[in-house]
Structure 1
């Protein structure tokens, strides 16, 4: 009998042990148990970790069940259509929709509904075109995206021109009704320009309609007829305006010679008459000649003479266009003709080039000089201002002289460069030329700031914002800033006009475990800005974690139930007198385990401190001792923050509060030479940090070097202490 009861007792003990182990495993999984060994994840587990789903990804990979059968989902992956076998069907639907939009827009234009006509090619058409272009690229058939794009652009252009024509026409009629002849004639001139533009746009649009009908099975006859009707109406209206306000002219020009160049200009005579043969005499006139213009005056009989020096005309030019361009208030209409020429190229020269000897980011560099051929100044020629291999500005000659004030961009590398101007002509009447002087592009120091905060209850989603500025506070725009965590690049952002940047990033579990640093880095390589780095610490709580797809609160509930069951089992077991010394020993061992420190988190803070300290050494090597001290202090805060009570938020403490809290914590245990040395080192670092941050006097390079060495020793002592050479308070005694 007794042996049987003994076996039952052993069986109960084993059952209780199983229950106890199960409870411990559950509690450890939920982050509250007595076992605190670091969790590890296998590569397979990491590989299968679900990605964060965004609204964009839901739109991109939407399934057929999630969409209305009558609505084409926007930005759906074309390969999904291909797999369903309906990619070509969707392409045809989108083509039909664009044709319908073109037709609806043309009919709205004919009815004078300009806003509706514009929306047809601005909104619905543009949306369909974007999706069509994406899908057409995946099909094996003809891709007519270019034709549809051209049709949309041309129709939008004619809609805008017709709207402006009718608005100007109404204003013109009001001016005539008010008896303001000058204003009416000026508006009539604007109407003439708009009517010409409408004629050209109409011709291009209708030709594109024809091309679309040839390339597809589209029928655009209704749209074509509507555009033709609108164009004919405007032609008729403008003919009336022209006859009312203007007198037609005829221009004739005779050239003295055919071979021309800038050195040997075109000299010509001409005559300007009305269409009825009456001379336009004693009138100042402007003639548009080739790519330039000249001003002259007609004699009483309408005759005139002029000289023209070609500059931008291609050397292949054989006919030089000449047009009479009347002033807005003139009662004459323009007219044009052309003469036969042969253009010979000549070499211009830049002289008297003036530039600064040194420049830096954000500074204004003034470049000036003269451009001439032999002794003749070159007028009205565009020049590019260049620094190194980059074009940084533009200017134009006036009577042969030029001057430009341009801002130095960040994209030009620092060092010795060439600053000057370039005439970028090829095969023109003037040959291309370049003139530069040597300048030094100085490197500009920058400061990166960053702040990182967890987003709501999201465990590993972090909102990051910061700035990139020069050390004098000027914002640096349009530059990339890399965001890292634990050596993993999260995202690269671009600074705004005010130098700010912002992003919301997901931090992988493998990058940081508990407290981690979001590091913002500006890499100045290839620019004239120095590199800089800043870090912000984020605490990643484990309270909301889940295991095997089950939320933590479920595990807490199960753990609580098992603890209750375990308590009952232990009570029964003790009542049966089966307790043993070994169980008490195990309990004591578990209690000791409960105070163990999580080495994964310690490794994380050590790595962070080391990385920030390296950035401090780099700052000192670039001649920035104040910045080096600031980074060194940030490193020591990371290295020593775990020595502050866990219940305290050490990141909110000031530098002296942190020092006092840390020294108070050390004072709880027995004093030693090492403790005294550490307090002295931390005090030195704190004092130098205060001076670097708040004092008007800069820290010297030698002082910064000593601070870096002190922080290095503190970090080394901390690492050694974690290895067991130093005891935490509460570990003494037994």
Structure 2
């Protein structure tokens, strides 16, 4: 019976893995008629970019032209190739000589004389290797118009706040501009403008002080082609009444306290402090979790000897927020050592036991137990119906296969950010999904499953963890601050370029209203895999 039950769990786990890994489809692998994978030889390339004369700006874009050839000088002719400039990719088509040209509007490029990197990113299925070229340009700054709208203007903690921001230059929207949203100077979200220069986001108002507060949108640029700007609107934060409930029992010579803090309309109040006292003496505090619940144990050492009871008080009073004040009390009988004697006070012991059982049966544990019971019941039913037996098959030559249906696999279209009105006759939209290598890690599995935002997030975590481990950086840095630190560090230009690319992809994946496309996710994952920092000395 144990072995059979185990087989049910293994079978159920296999089905779940097939569903989880198979939903997004798997990348095709080239093979011959015998099913053997075909190994292809990659070819080195040389990317050349011509000098950019004069001064450029967002309103005075540059025309970048160059050639792409193999290492032996053969042009990569009449092919659609992917180029990355300023962390933005575009598709261009080479002519018969491997030449290409496109328009470039600087956004985050530093002002003054600076180097602009152009990177060739071959498709995963291509036989070419990537290459990078730089062109020195003079960049002048353009000041955009930043607007902010918020709704509603009066709300309380937990209510939804809709914020819409737009970045425009000469009345036209500017895409791919990062914007920091703040309340009273405290950063609460980062977003990125869409193709029309506008981004709309919805947040739940965090705990802030009652009264008038300022919601601001900030372009966090300094000395960049697009100037940093700030827009602000006021909101009125109204008080939010709260209520607190508490239970207290004596357990093992201490006082076990647990309870919940909720708003007047029943919403949980997470991440806030509850203060405890016994007979007016401060006894510590506890923080509410995501469900608004709290629990702690209070010492009885400071209680006066001979007292037959004690009153425990829980007080919620967060003066720096718009939450109201609430208080709850409970009296515990201390006479006759009731807390340790089940015969004298069985109710207290029972409550403690119930509390321990509840703490053990978390959601994952409960789900596992219920799943196990269901599988065992299914096995009993199957045995009674004679659907299977424990006999070992005489032959195991038959190979079991999992059927697949290519028509049921949904492929997400790949989208590429391009400059507004920048595409000339040699450029085209990228409507063809690129193939990825077979997933060998969690990032690859995420891409195979269509979870491109997740793959990019893991790529950023991989790079940031490597940097923090090598340089002993604090975890408080944002991804943009981490990039700024790298730009001022002893990292090589290629390493900084990798961090810049992964940070930009992560910013889009984590904070943009538009989902990450597969091609961009593959680039971020590939660069994160290749990134390695041995020493910064």
Normalising TM by the smaller chain, what interval?
A: 0.5 to 0.7
1:404 is aligned, of 201, 211, 216, to 201
Shift in Å, 1:269 = 0.8
1:501 is aligned, of 294, 314, 326, to 294
Please give the per-residue CA displacement for 1:24-63, whole angstroms capped at 9, x wherever unaligned.
xxxxxxxxxxxxxxxxxxxxxxxxxxxxxxxxxxxxxxxx
2:126 is aligned, of 330, 333, 341, to 330
Question: Is contact 1:394–1:404 with CA below 8 Å preserved after alignment?
Answer: no
1:483 aligns with 2:280: no
Question: Is contact 2:154–2:235 with CA below 8 Å preserved after alignment?
Answer: yes
Say which SS state the counterpart of residue 323 (structure 2) adopts.
coil
1:528 aligns with 2:325: no
Aligned equivalent of 2:436: none
1:315 is aligned, of 103, 106, 111, to 111
Question: Is contact 2:148–2:216 with CA below 8 Å preserved after alignment?
Answer: no
Q: CA RMSD in A?
A: 3.0
1:442 is aligned, of 235, 238, 250, to 238
Say which SS state the counterpart of residue 436 (structure 1) adopts.
strand
Say which SS state the counterpart of residue 333 (structure 1) adopts.
coil
1:276 aligns with 2:72: yes
Please give the per-residue CA displacement for 1:394-447, whole angstroms capped at 9, x wherever unaligned.
22101211111111111x212111224221222322222111212111211111
Q: How many residues align?
A: 314
2:212 and 2:60 map into 1 onto residues whose CA distance is 41
1:328 and 1:291 map into 2 onto residues whose CA distance is 19
Shift in Å, 1:172 = 11
Structure 1 unaligned runs (5+)? 1-170, 186-240, 546-646, 650-734
1:413 and 1:439 map into 2 onto residues whose CA distance is 12
Q: CA separation of 1:303/1:383 partners in 2, compared to 1, >3 Å: closer, same or farther? A: same
Please give the per-residue CA displacement for 1:481-519, whole angstroms capped at 9, x wherever unaligned.
111112322121111111111111203434793322211
Q: CA separation of 1:453/1:391 partners in 2, compared to 1, >3 Å: closer, same or farther? A: same
Question: Is contact 1:257–1:267 with CA below 8 Å preserved after alignment?
Answer: no
Aligned equivalent of 2:213: 417
Structure 2 unaligned runs (5+)? 1-25, 340-344, 348-537
Q: CA separation of 1:172/1:386 partners in 2, compared to 1, >3 Å: closer, same or farther? A: closer
Shift in Å, 1:304 = 1.1
Question: Is contact 1:485–1:511 with CA below 8 Å preserved after alignment?
Answer: no
2:236 and 2:57 map into 1 onto residues whose CA distance is 39
2:134 and 2:247 map into 1 onto residues whose CA distance is 67
Say which SS state the counterpart of residue 246 (structure 1) adopts.
coil
* Larger Rg belongs to: 1
Aligned equivalent of 1:468: 261
Higher helix share: 1
Aligned equivalent of 1:51: none
Aligned equivalent of 1:156: none
Pairwise mapping of residues 185-264 of structure 1 onto structure 2 (< 5 A)? Answer: 244-264=40-60
2:311 is aligned, of 512, 517, 526, to 517
Question: Is contact 2:77–2:94 with CA below 8 Å preserved after alignment?
Answer: yes
Pairwise mapping of residues 90-239 of structure 1 onto structure 2 (< 5 A)? Answer: 176=31
> TM-score, normalising length from structure 1?
0.40
1:383 aligns with 2:179: yes
Say which SS state the counterpart of residue 301 (structure 1) adopts.
coil
Aligned equivalent of 2:97: 301
2:87 and 2:273 map into 1 onto residues whose CA distance is 41
Higher strand share: 2
2:33 and 2:299 map into 1 onto residues whose CA distance is 68
